[in-house]
Structure 1
Amino acid sequence: MVRHVRVHGGRTFCRLGARIKEVESSALQMCAQHSSASTLVLDARIGDIKDQQSETLKRDFISMVDHMLDTGKRLIISGPLPPTRYGDVTNSRLRQLDLWLKGFCLGRSIPYVDSFIAFLNRPHLFKSDGLHPNQEGSRLLSVNIDLMLRSCTTTS
């Protein structure tokens, strides 16, 4: 999950290193606590990717999305970012997840914020750990999410 994302009229909650089940539980609690919120943006950068169990990850993600849709809130998925220091295998797996999520969201008519290409081979957008966006990267991600929120608002 990501910190330091600022979206007009929204609040950001972060659970670093969270796995899908933890994200789902937290998101359901937030929906209950903030019942007036109309939209939920879920960040797809989750700790499960390091387990290298793609089919389990997909199944858990589908289950989480189904539960989030049951809340009646509009759902937007923000896709993964390509880390700069974790090698080709991790980047390839994240790219495959990004492509799968994009297709999954399209099939479910869920708006998808695709920032993968915008961050690819741009280490200056990441902190020194190569994983988390720095201030400039957080600003870019915030703009991408805000644009998606605004486009969903105008088309709804």
Structure 2
Amino acid sequence: MHSIAFSVCIGFTCDKCREIVRLTEKIQRVSELDTRIQTLIEVNCKSASALYTALDAISLENTAHCSVPAEVEPVQQGNWVTVRCCSRETKHRSSVLITTSNRFSPLSETPTENPVECALVIGDSITRNVKIETPATIVTCLPGARAPDIKANLKVLANANRKFSKIIIHVGTNDVRLRQSEITKINVKEVFELASTMSGTVICSGPLPVRRSDEMVSRLSSLNGWLSKWCPQNNIEFIDNWKSFWGRLNLLKRDGIHPSWDGAALLSSNMAYSLRAQTCQSRARVRKQTNWLN
């Protein structure tokens, strides 16, 4: 204290003295704040006690006048709403009829498709860009599919009781890579036999003359020749794409397997022509039967 008084007397205050004065003032302010906080706590406690006392009195009054507790409407406080839980003793509850449906049903039953008039085109990646103008024609492309894969997909449709007016199947390009000609023929037969149970008209789309190895070309040519003879013997129409694509390099892509845009257009045209021809033949048979009955 002597040093503080002495420094003040000569008109100079050192840094330590100023720090001591600042800390003393800060301690005083903290003490005042502590006192105010304690006062506010005591006031809030008294207010809460008075509120609880008033609520208890109201509860006792309601109990004295009512034998059954009255339901209190939810009180809205700002954006919050107090919700009253339902009692477990409630026996009469309003029953609401809930309608359920299979959300995958549009995949199995397309509303715009008539099962009697709808045609199906199913095959490997060769059919990727096939577009047929004939109404109600579904094109299902299965990249890399072989005959057993086509059969498995047809089985799914058969189990769903799907029927088609006509079915076109394009298969064989991936099967010849297995180098098992007899097994390939058996698998192809099974596919067309299954398709015959789903439609009265089954059409075989013959393979394309690919530009790959000589062995692959030879095997596809052999398969095409066998299909051209086997299909008519089993009431299956055969589309000879080999003749349409042979020698026309612009109809295949650079990979030498898949059809180009022009090739896809030609393949689509061959399939559409076959569908129209079958439709005309069916109508002619119906007219002939009608005339015979008359």
TM-score scaled by structure 1?
0.91
| Partner Cα distance (1:129, 1:41) in 2 | 25
The alignment status of 1:97 with 2:97, answered yes or no, reads: no
Residue type at the aligned position of 2:138: R
Q: Tell me if the contact between 1:20 and 1:46 (Cα under 8 Å) persists in the aligned partners.
A: no
Per-residue deviation at 1:44?
2.2
Q: Tell me if the contact between 1:98 and 1:116 (Cα under 8 Å) persists in the aligned partners.
A: yes
Count of aligned pairs between the two proteins: 155
| Partner Cα distance (1:98, 1:29) in 2 | 27
The alignment status of 1:4 with 2:154, answered yes or no, reads: no
Task: Give the corresponding residue for 2:237.
Answer: 111
Per-residue deviation at 1:36?
5.2
Per-residue deviation at 1:72?
3.5
Pick the structure with greater CA Rg: 2
Q: Equivalent residues in 2 for 1:1-156 (5 A)?
A: 1=124, 2-7=127-132, 8-9=134-135, 10-30=137-157, 35=162, 37-84=164-211, 86-156=212-282
- Stretches of structure 2 lacking an aligned partner (at least 5 in a row): 1-123, 283-294
| Partner Cα distance (1:12, 1:34) in 2 | 18
| Partner Cα distance (2:206, 2:184) in 1 | 14
Provide closer, same or farther for how the CA distance between residues 154 and 47 of structure 1 changes in structure 2, counting only shifts above 3 A. Answer: same
| Partner Cα distance (1:73, 1:27) in 2 | 15
- Stretches of structure 1 lacking an aligned partner (at least 5 in a row): none
Provide closer, same or farther for how the CA distance between residues 33 and 73 of structure 1 changes in structure 2, counting only shifts above 3 A. Answer: farther
Structure 1 range deviating more: 29-38 or 3-12 = 29-38
| Partner Cα distance (2:178, 2:260) in 1 | 25
| Partner Cα distance (2:177, 2:183) in 1 | 12
| Partner Cα distance (1:32, 1:40) in 2 | 16
